[in-house]
Amino acid sequence: SATIDVPMLKMLNDREMPAIALGTYLGFDKGGAVTSKDKQLRNVVMQAIDLGYRHFDTAAIYNTEAEVGEAIRMKIDEGVIKREDVFLTTKLWNTHHKREQVAVAMKETLNKTGLDYVDLFLMHWPIALNEDYSHSNTDYLETWRATEEMVKLGYTKSIGLSNFNKLQVATVLQECTIKPVALQIEVHPQIIQEDLITYAKDEGIIVMGYSPFGSLVKRFGMDLPGPKMDDPVLTSLAKKYEKTPAQIVLRWLVDRKVVPIPKTVSPKRLLENINIFDFKLKEEEIEKINQFNSNTRYTLPSFWQKHPFYPFDMVPNPIPDPFRSEMKS
Ligand code: NDP
């Protein structure tokens, strides 16, 4: 069977990160994060490893750490991979930002995955919350110092940030003893993140791009404004390179040195999404896709916008906090 060779990117700490990651966030419903039935996700991750995926993106809040870890362990037991051949990224949830909570969360993550260490531990948000989801003033610098301890204890090889704005990244860079190697943010044709990507690159930080398909796919069960699979810019590039519009967009991220994190649970689309390393877009083609930019975010937790460390611009009508309305009902 065809195994794709994924290129590796060198990080600040001289370690390497595979240039594409499989997303494993399955969405939320009233009961919290959706988990897969009958080990569907575990089986998808196992298939992904057979196809050549070597990087998996999970988070404590996704409730998928256990299945991702199980798949990795099973493939190690099968002799398909060694532990050092795979790169596991996971994230600290906002309710565990206090110094002593970070170690607790880290150990819980390792327990769930059944692994001795993870490769990359990201602070999911700069925002600290209490257990009841009320706002906490815990500074992300306190949390960062605690994640640095996780490296020293060998629980994670590398540490990084997610959903931090430029000023917040700069603050961490100024105060840290271990630099963040990665910054995970929303990147797709409608939010091209030119400024933050340039800044991160200049600092040697690798950008990981989440929700890479943007408006190409339905979100929240809806068609949203923006380019679709039949967009003429994308279909003409797809025709030229004998690829699909989805592959063109993923390659657009790769050519901008962003690590895309496409999520799929379909075996067919698993192969499609990783089969992007045998062509390259030209500068003017990248530029053409950049023109879709409208700075549209799909991950916009405006219910946290009064938090002192909220990273995004405020909106006039914040949506109700799903975490808290759930607890009240
Ligand atoms: P994606 O852009 O990956 O879109 C996923 C959707 O696209 C699914 O509905 C999937 O359906 C569909 N899809 C996948 N491949 C194809 C294809 N080739 N053609 C057509 N449709 C396709 O968005 P996500 O928001 O899921 O983001 C990806 C990952 O990024 C997450 O899983 C998570 O790991 C990470 N993330 C991180 C965040 C953070 O705060 N740090 C926030 C949001 C996401 P199907 O499964 O049926 O193929």
User: Mean pLDDT over residues 177-203, rounded?
Assistant: 98
What six digits make up the tokens of 97?
């930002």
**pLDDT 10s digits, 83-132:** 999 999 999 999 999 999 999 999 999 999 999 999 999 999 999 999 99
For 66, the enclosing helix (H) or strand (E) is: helix 65-77
* 291 pLDDT more than 90: yes
What six digits make up the tokens of 245?
């519009």
User: How high is the ipTM of this complex?
Assistant: 0.99
Question: Whose CA is closest to atom 14 on ligand 1?
Answer: 264
CB 215 within 8 A of CB 228: yes
Could you give the percent of the chain with pLDDT greater than 70?
Answer: 97
Looking at ligand 1, which atom is closest to the CA of residue 265?
A: 46
User: Mean pLDDT over residues 169-191, rounded?
Assistant: 98
323 phi/psi in degrees, rounded to 5: -70, -35
Mean pLDDT, the chain, integer: 96
Is 62 a residue of the active site? yes
Distance 262 CA to ligand 1 centre (A): 5
Among 2.60.120.260, 3.40.50.300, 3.30.1330.60, 3.20.20.100, name the CATH number for the domain at 8-328. Answer: 3.20.20.100
Looking at ligand 1, which atom is closest to the CA of residue 272?
A: 18
User: Which residue type is seen at 115?
Assistant: L
Distance 41 CA to ligand 1 centre (A): 13
**pLDDT 10s digits, 196-211:** 999 999 999 999 999 9
So what's the pLDDT on residue 246? 98
pLDDT band at 2 (very low <50, low <70, confident <90, very high): low
So what's the pLDDT on residue 220? 83
